């Protein structure tokens, strides 16, 4: 069965500091991996996704993530945090044979201090 673990339910960084949000997955076949962001009182919005090909994927708002098969990880990074990055972030996984059903991690709330 697939699963996703996000390490750290709350992460706090200073403005301008590196953002690192961790995601580990389990999957019996090659996974499709997604990062979504949820701003307060809004729905989820796709940040980036990995399906096949290049393992380093770039998304919106300066975020990127690297698929590491050997580590079963898909960590999200941003070199320099901005106040507007404060939100909740969700990692999700699916497989080609799962009909698009996403399995989500529990979420990580990112706070950005001035």
- Cβ nearer to other proteins, comparing 99 with 114: 99
d(CA 22, CA 7): 6
Give the Cβ contact number of residue 27 at 10 Å.
19
- Cβ nearer to other proteins, comparing 4 with 11: 4
Residue 90, classified by CB atoms within 10 Å of its CB into exposed (0-12), middle (13-18) or buried (19+), is buried
d(CA 62, CA 101): 27
- Cβ nearer to other proteins, comparing 44 with 86: 44
- Cβ nearer to other proteins, comparing 14 with 96: 96
The residues that touch other proteins, with contacts defined as CB under 8 A, are 4, 9, 32, 36, 41-46, 49, 51, 90, 92, 94-96, 98-102, 104-107
d(CA 79, CA 61): 11
Closest distance of CB 19 from other proteins, Å: 19
Strands 108-113 and 10-14: parallel
């Amino acid at each position: 069965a697939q699963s996703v673990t996000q390490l750290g339910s709350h992460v706090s960084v200073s403005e301008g500091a590196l953002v690192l949000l961790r995601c580990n997955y389990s999957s019996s076949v090659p996974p499709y991996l997604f990062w979504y962001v949820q701003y307060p009182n809004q729905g989820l919005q796709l940040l980036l996704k990995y399906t096949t090909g290049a393992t380093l994927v770039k998304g919106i708002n300066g975020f990127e993530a690297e698929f590491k098969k050997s580590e079963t990880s898909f960590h999200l990074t941003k070199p320099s945090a901005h106040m507007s990055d404060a939100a909740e972030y969700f990692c999700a996984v699916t497989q080609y044979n799962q009909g698009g059903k996403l399995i989500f991690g529990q979420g990580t709330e990112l706070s950005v201090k001035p």
